[in-house]
Structure 1
Amino acid sequence: MHLLIIEDNADIIANLYSYLEPLGYKLDVARSGKAGVLAATTSAHDAIVLDLSLPAMDGIEVCRQLRQQYQLTMPILMLTARDTEQDKVTGFAAGADDYLVKPYSLAELDARLKALVRRARNEHVQSVLVFGELQLDAGIGRISRAGQTLDLTPTGYCILSALMRVAPKLITREALERQVWGDEPPDSDALRTHIHTLRRVLDKPFSYPVLLTLPGIGYRLMLCNEERNEGPQ
């Protein structure tokens, strides 16, 4: 799991690194609200751990900007020493998904982060995904379009599954690579090649395409009545 920590306390950062890295987390750190907004909007992460008390721009404003201005949907877990009901209401209203009061258990933090990411990915919740003519039944590993079964490669299955979980929203190239290959993706042309192969099966036999490439940004699925302005693969 790729995690962004927005925290200015060096001791807390050190504790998070010492506990989470051995569990397999990849961690990025921003030590101010402004730096946190920049990191969250320029790199892909599975979740954000956000301290409420930050210099210059506090966690509430960071959270509000990420949700309202940048429309980011990744899970945000807020850390704070404030434990009143109104503080929690304010945090949730700004867009936080969960709330831990200091001092907190690192084991509980780990469990909550994993639950948030599972929920964001619809894992263990939705075994059948449907978007327009597409249907993915994870229980039996079957994907179909307009009732016609599609024969995808294992990588193509992973790519389409990731796209369907967020459809009709886009998924960035970096986030898609991480979901398919983890934190060690292959060379830069690998995803392009797999997208091309997926498109041959997913779109070519049908009257209109559903897989859209947004050049320099990422990919998304679309419905038949949308305008198409597709760039190069």
Structure 2
Amino acid sequence: MLNALLVEDDLDLAQTIVQYLELEQIRCDHASNGVAGLNLAQQARYDVLLLDLNLPRLDGLSVCERLRADGDDTPVLMLTARDRLEDKIDGFRAGTDDYLVKPFELQELVVRVHALARRRSGQVHVLRCADLVMNLSEKTVARADQLIHLSPTGWRLLEVLLRASPNTVSRQTLEDAVWGDEPPDSNSLKVHIFNLRKAVDGSAGPRLVHTIAGHGFAVRSENDETPD
């Protein structure tokens, strides 16, 4: 059974969600404000976090940011009435993995919870490109021995790109690997790639994250052959 945490201050909505998820064999704890939600998330291990954006005491973005700063890689689904691109970009930068705009169908919520819960990888491998090292067993990414903090979605994107390196990975392949049967809106991949490039290449040496026009994306060094 999956374990989820719902942080939602609308008590009627929260009760409906909790009851529906439990009917779908998803155990769901609930907190009604951001501080209580953060405390629960830090004390227990969940498969998915469901965060309302507008919360009393501590908003959903702040909860997500604090968890990511602590190295928590639990996938986060943000529940919000805001559907502007700017709001989504802010959420992705804070470490959110997906958005669900209110009002939503409970069946869609269940599908997204299952999709997010599958993202953690239990494989034990070390992936490398130049001075970039991803340790899947220790859940760390470093470049030139400097740790890099990624959201769960950023982590999955980098893993797929490193496994294929130096080859190019198509947009469709990346979306399928990260979001499965629930493709994101047209801007989500672009935003996540931007954040990944900033994290990996922002203050390091030569660029490793590349956009291959008309083909997709690749992680490769200047010394790698480009067979595309």
Q: What's the TM-score, normalizing by structure 2?
A: 0.54
Residue 103 of structure 2 is aligned to residue 108 of structure 1: no
Q: Relative to structure 1, is the Cα distance of residues 169 and 130 closer, same or farther in structure 2, using a 3 angstrom cutoff?
A: closer
1:166 Cα deviation from its structure 2 partner:
5.1
Residue 137 of structure 2 is aligned to residue 167 of structure 1: yes
Is the 2:4–2:46 Cα contact (8 Å) retained in structure 1?
yes
One-letter amino acid matched to 1:40: A
User: 1:83-122 CA deviation, whole Å, 9 max, x = no partner?
Assistant: 1110011011100000010001111111111111112247
Structure 1 window deviating more from structure 2 (82-91 vs 12-21): it is 12-21
Distance (whole Å) between structure 2 residues aligned to residue 96 and residue 23 of structure 1: 24
Q: Any idea what SS the aligned residue of 1:8 has?
A: coil
In structure 2, the partner of 1:63 is 64
User: 1:64-98 CA deviation, whole Å, 9 max, x = no partner?
Assistant: 11111x11001000000111110011011100000
Q: Any idea what SS the aligned residue of 1:39 has?
A: helix
In structure 1, the partner of 2:12 is 11
Q: How many residues align?
A: 131
**What aligned pairs does 1:1-233 form with structure 2 within 5 A after superposition?**
1-68=2-69, 70-121=70-121, 129-131=123-125, 167-169=137-139
Q: Relative to structure 1, is the Cα distance of residues 105 and 121 closer, same or farther in structure 2, using a 3 angstrom cutoff?
A: farther
- Structure 1 unaligned residues grouped into runs of 5+: 123-128, 133-164, 171-233
Distance (whole Å) between structure 1 residues aligned to residue 16 and residue 81 of structure 2: 16
One-letter amino acid matched to 2:114: K
1:56 Cα deviation from its structure 2 partner:
1.8
1:17 Cα deviation from its structure 2 partner:
1.8
1:131 Cα deviation from its structure 2 partner:
2.9
Distance (whole Å) between structure 2 residues aligned to residue 2 and residue 72 of structure 1: 15
Distance (whole Å) between structure 2 residues aligned to residue 36 and residue 42 of structure 1: 10
In structure 2, the partner of 1:189 is none
- Structure 2 unaligned residues grouped into runs of 5+: 127-134, 141-228
User: How big is the alpha-carbon RMSD for the aligned residues of Structure 1 and Structure 2?
Assistant: 1.8
Distance (whole Å) between structure 2 residues aligned to residue 104 and residue 64 of structure 1: 24
Distance (whole Å) between structure 1 residues aligned to residue 121 and residue 13 of structure 2: 28
In structure 1, the partner of 2:216 is none
User: 1:4-57 CA deviation, whole Å, 9 max, x = no partner?
Assistant: 011111111111022111111111111111111100001111110000010121
User: 1:134-188 CA deviation, whole Å, 9 max, x = no partner?
Assistant: xxxxxxxxxxxxxxxxxxxxxxxxxxxxxxx951149xxxxxxxxxxxxxxxxxx
Q: Any idea what SS the aligned residue of 1:113 has?
A: helix
Q: What's the TM-score, normalizing by structure 1?
A: 0.53
1:130 Cα deviation from its structure 2 partner:
4.5
Distance (whole Å) between structure 1 residues aligned to residue 16 and residue 57 of structure 2: 24
Distance (whole Å) between structure 1 residues aligned to residue 77 and residue 5 of structure 2: 10
Larger Cα-atom Rg: 1
One-letter amino acid matched to 1:38: N
Structure 1 moving runs of 4+ over 6 Å: none
Distance (whole Å) between structure 1 residues aligned to residue 21 and residue 42 of structure 2: 23
Query: How high is the sequence identity, in percent, across the aligned residues?
Result: 43
